[in-house]
Each structure stands twice: as C-alpha cells, then as structure tokens.
Structure 1
Amino acid sequence: MSLPTKKRKFDRTTQDKLYFESYSDVTIHEEMLADKVRTNSYRLGILRNYKSIRGKVVLDVGAGTGVLSVFCVQAGAKRVYAVEASSIAEQAKKIVKLNKMEDAITVVHGTVETIELPESVDVIVSEWMGYALMHESMLHSVLFARDKWLKPGGLILPSLAELYIAPINEAVAEDRLNFWYTVKEQYDVDMTCMFDFARKCIMNNEIVVNSVSVEDVLSHPAKFAELDLYKATTEQVKRVSGAFSFECFGSSSVNAFCLWFSVTFQGEDKPLVLSTSPFKQETHWKQSILYLDEPVDVVQDTKIMGEITLSPSEKSPRHICAHLDCTIGEQKMKSKTFKLGESHCDE
C-alpha cells in the first residue's frame, strides 16, 4: 500500500523558472498572436498614441516575440528595449532582424527586476494580463519597471484595468450533470446515482477558463475592482477585492459566477478598450468560471450580494486564488475558495 505523497512547495525562484520556461514554447505565442482581438487592440492602442511615442524611448516588459516592440517602432519610437526573461528572446532577436529594426530595438534577455538599462524611458508597454487578470502576477514587474525606469509624466500602455463579475447558469455543467439521467434510456442501465458524485467533480474549487454564452448571464455585470497603473502599488495588487450586487433578469438557476476584465489604452482622441467580456468578441483569455457547490433557483429581481477577493497562492505565488462570499435571495451567506493552476489555496 502506497502512502500519499506530500505536495511539493516550490520557492519563488523555482516558480519563476517554471513560469518563464512555459513561455519558451511556441504554442503560447501562437495562441496570443492568433488572438486578433488582443493583438489588434495593442497595435491600435500603440499607433493611436504615435504623438506620445514618436521620437521617444520605450520599454516593452515581457516582450515575448517582440511584436509590441515592432508596433512601437512603426509608431515612430526612437528606441525600444524589449525585455524578455524566457529563451523566446532569441527568436525575438531574429524577428527584429528580419524586420530590419535592429537599429531601433534592443532585445534584453532577462527579468525587468534584474536587468540594467542605459537610460530612463518615456513609455512602458506590456501585455501582462493573465486569466482573471491577476493570474501569473506579471503586473508586479510592470509596476517595478514604472518605478525604476519611467520618466515623470511618462506613458503606460495600457494604463487602466477593470475586473467584472456576473452570476450565470453555466450550461455545459448542466448538460454534463443531466447526462447521467440519459444513460438508462440509451443503454438500459440506471446511473442516476452518479449525479451527486459528478456534481462534486464538476462543481469543484477549480477556476475554470472557458467561454460563457451571453444567454447564460443572469444579470447586469458588476465592476468590483479598478487598477490605475500610474498609481497602483505592489502591495495593493497583491490582494484585489471588491463588493458586488445584482438583480436577476428572470427565473433560472445560478450555478456559477464568471469573471472577466478589460484594459484601457488612453489616446489622443478617445480611449481604446480591450475587453474579455462574454458580450464582446472572444479572446484567448475567455472567462473565468467559479462554480457553486450546488445551484440556487432565482426569479425575476432576486437579489444577489457578496464580495470577491483575488490573491496569490502562498504555495505558488504566480497562481491565483479567488475567495467568494455571496448571498443569493433569502439564503444564508455561502463562502468558497477557488484555485487556478497547480496552486493549493490556504483556507
């Protein structure tokens, strides 16, 4: 009989190494570049700010393949420092050379916390957002770069992030659970006893990343947090929380909440918003789903209230935990803590 093994707890250095290694594979870069909403939003967000970028020095934090750095040169940047910690930096150098921009773009292989630049910068650009916005904890690197390298009055793209939540009836979970009531009809074997077991397996404490249909959203969404990248501190972004309240559209069953975010690029004319809302075109971030332990029936105008907190896992700091407190209608408040990735949240 084998004994259960203890979960490995990696130190921060090991966690960072594993994180950066994940960006050394082509798949993640293919996924991001294939996301036209994401990539075109950054391209337009940068090009629309050409007056603030033209002739200026730019720092690209977490440059990856260097596509944002190229956009900055296309917007007229005099010089771009493309800082990338993973080995994909070697490919970024080739891309820069292929586009004949090696005189304007310097690829720096290292973390923004450890590298040295020969000068301060006028602009910081970064695609730092993870699932549910805060997964991966890359925002800390952007704030570090801001405090160390950005000139007073400098530009940050994007400069504002907002987090939203809404109650949903997640149809995929419903269909998977109802499957066990169809087995007898198909095979003449009653498996309805599997329902409770299946519900525990499906509606667990994992943060599930998936697309949510607009038809499944049961109320107007609530914005529960806002981060101004010019003012936010590393301490403040370690724990992002906020309250929410909803009134349901009609009769249904709430079996989950979904989270999404938007980021805003300030502009000369009007801001450009990149949204990961289920009401907008799908991105590779999709939405983040938090399943309740069991569904709760609601009717028109049923009130839902609560609070949600996003914080890094103590065991895997680049992963996030979400703690949810909510009251649905006349029910007592329920609390649940969720995890994303290999982290294990401390209750």
Structure 2
Amino acid sequence: MGSCVQVVVDVGCGTGILSIFCAQAGAKRVYAVDASDIAVQDVEIDEEVDVIISEWMGYMLLYESMLGSVITARDRWLKRGGLILPSNATLYMAPVTHPDRYNESIDFWRNVYGIDMSAMMPLAKQCAFEEPSVETITGENVLTWPHGVKHVDCYTIQIHELESIATAFKFKSMMRAPLHGFAFWFDVEFSGPALYPANNHIPSVVHQIDGCQKKKRANPNEALVLSTAPEDPPTHWQQTLIYFYDPIEVEQDQLIEGSLVLSQSKENARFMNIHLEYASGGRSFVKESVMR
C-alpha cells in the first residue's frame, strides 16, 4: 500500500472484508466503522487518517447510500491530501425500450391460457410500474447517449447537496422504437485529489470491490473506473428502471426532453422521491414515484 498510506478508515464496513483487504495490502492501522452518521459521529479516532474507503453506493447511486457517512468521516478525520476511495461518481440516465419486459408484465393478460383477462391490465400496470425497478438491461435497450444527472466529487461534496438534485435533459432517439421509460446507472472512479503526491499509487484493494470487472487504464495516471452501465458486465447494483404505464412510439432522431428531480423523502430520509417530466412528439407527461 506504500509507506505514505498507513492509516485507513472503512466506512460502512459490514463484514469487514474491505478492512481485511486493506490490512493485507499493508495498512498500519484500519478503523472499521459502521455505516450510519450516528455511528461515525460516536467513533473517536485520535489521529488523522490517510485513506477513507467505502462501498457507499446504493441503487441509482444515491438510494440508501452511505455517502453522508463518508462526508462526515472525511470532515472529521481525513488528513490534508488524503485519499477517498472511490473518489468521485457520476449518475447517468437514458431513455430505453424494453418490449420483452412490458409484454411479460402487461400484454400477458390479453391471453391467459386462452382467456381474455385484459380487464386486469390497469392494475397490472400499476403493480409493475408504479415504483422504480432494479433489473439488468443491455446496451441494446438504450435509445440514446446518456445524460449526466449528477457528478459527485467525494473530496468536496456537502451533505446538503444530497437533499435535492435537479437536472434538465434532451435526448435524440437513435432508432424507431417504443419508448418504455428511463434507465439509470452510475460510474465510480478511484483517483487521488490534486493535493495528493503524484507518486502515491491507488491501493490495490480497490480491485477487489464487488468482484466486478473494472475498466482498464491506458496508463497508471488514469483513474480506475467501476461502471454499472448496461453495456458493461452486470453488477449487483444492476440498473434502475422507471417505466411508463404506456409506451410512447418514437421515430429516429425524435427529441425526448424534460426534467428530473430526485429528493429525500420527508416520510423517511432513506426513501427517494422521483419527479420526472418528459415530452416527446408533442405530448407531455409526468411520472412521480418513490424508491422505498
């Protein structure tokens, strides 16, 4: 791990596997801390730490994530020029088509063993598509290049920035297809801050996170990237899908535009409110859902 990287905090340690990896990599001391902000506040560490490591990411990056705990740990213990791993993250969204999923959930009711049960379809749509769905899609389902919803710099982000995130988007469909909803995924990068000495390498422990394939670096100075994008190998985060109750037929090069607001639920801070407004082909829609 290098002579300059000696004291590590693992935020949200769980089974402690990352803490063990850090110790195996040569850390002088490893503090394994529970995930909650309360736990982080209660822990007393009487020294500055060289590295904060955490698998804080949740579904859709921010749902039930431990980023707030990482921020608290950073402000309490990280020495000037210290490392946070992962160091930054980006949440993406893109319109998707997914006829198989729609057919298996909805059109199934048109013919159930030869019986027309289409009267069940409105209820089926509500049950299947009212809340976001965590599942795996492929690059073939994605209709456009993605839009960056939020970039998180773990060295500078503040907790209040997580309370509400808003973005406006504009997509141009690459093909003619039924638009079934929007997919969300994220990347995280492992790199040091500008203040961190250039000759300190990123500890090899980051290669172990989630057992996932990471994007290879062309040279050692480039950031190591873990991607949960549809075109990359699946991870346990998969992708998060927000489905429409009814598909929208879009033509090639047709615009799909609108806005998105992600906010913490007042009912429960762990829940995420999703307010999505979108328009295509002269028709406007609103979809509100809660990730709980």
Aligned-pair CA distance for 1:82 = 0.8
Query: Deviations 1:103-155 (Å, cap 9, x if unpaired)?
Result: xxxxxxx8112111121111110110111111114111100110111111111
Aligned-pair CA distance for 1:199 = 2.1
- The 3-state SS of whatever aligns with 1:263 is strand
2:177 corresponding residue in structure 1: 252
2:242 corresponding residue in structure 1: 290
Where does 1:26-41 land on structure 2 (aligned, <5 Å)? none
Task: Give every structure 1 segment of 4 or more consecutive aligned residues whose post-TM-superposition deviation is greater than 3 Å.
Answer: none
Aligned-pair CA distance for 1:242 = 1.9
CA contact (8 A) 1:73 1:79 kept: yes
Q: Structure 2 counterpart of 1:139, which letter?
A: L
Distance, in Å, in 1 between the alignment partners of 2:60 and 2:254 is: 26
CA spacing shift, 1:195–1:60, aligned 2, 3 Å: same
Distance, in Å, in 2 between the alignment partners of 1:213 and 1:154 is: 37
Where does 1:110-259 land on structure 2 (aligned, <5 Å)? 111-170=39-98, 171-183=100-112, 186-187=113-114, 189-204=115-130, 206-259=131-184
CA spacing shift, 1:192–1:337, aligned 2, 3 Å: closer
2:290 corresponding residue in structure 1: 339
Distance, in Å, in 1 between the alignment partners of 2:80 and 2:163 is: 24
TM-score (norm 2): 0.84
Q: Structure 2 counterpart of 1:338, which letter?
A: S
1:308 corresponding residue in structure 2: 260
- The 3-state SS of whatever aligns with 1:325 is strand
Aligned-pair CA distance for 1:54 = 5.0
2:251 corresponding residue in structure 1: 299
TM-score (norm 1): 0.72
Distance, in Å, in 1 between the alignment partners of 2:73 and 2:50 is: 12
CA spacing shift, 1:143–1:300, aligned 2, 3 Å: same
CA spacing shift, 1:216–1:55, aligned 2, 3 Å: closer
Alignment RMSD (CA, Å): 1.8
1:8 corresponding residue in structure 2: none
CA spacing shift, 1:68–1:244, aligned 2, 3 Å: same
Aligned-pair CA distance for 1:322 = 1.5
1:68 corresponding residue in structure 2: 18
Query: Deviations 1:62-84 (Å, cap 9, x if unpaired)?
Result: 11111111222233211111112
Aligned residues: 263
State the percentage of identical aligned residues.
42
- The 3-state SS of whatever aligns with 1:112 is helix
1:275 to 219, 224, 227: 227
Q: Structure 2 counterpart of 1:293, which letter?
A: Y
2:276 to 320, 324, 333: 324
Gaps of 5+ in 1: 1-49, 87-109, 342-347
Distance, in Å, in 2 between the alignment partners of 1:294 and 1:240 is: 26
Comparing both structures, which one devotes a greater share of its residues to strand? 2
CA contact (8 A) 2:5 2:50 kept: no
Query: Deviations 1:7-30 (Å, cap 9, x if unpaired)?
Result: xxxxxxxxxxxxxxxxxxxxxxxx
Distance, in Å, in 2 between the alignment partners of 1:288 and 1:85 is: 23
CA contact (8 A) 2:5 2:51 kept: no
Aligned-pair CA distance for 1:219 = 1.4
Comparing both structures, which one devotes a greater share of its residues to helix? 1
Q: Structure 2 counterpart of 1:193, which letter?
A: A
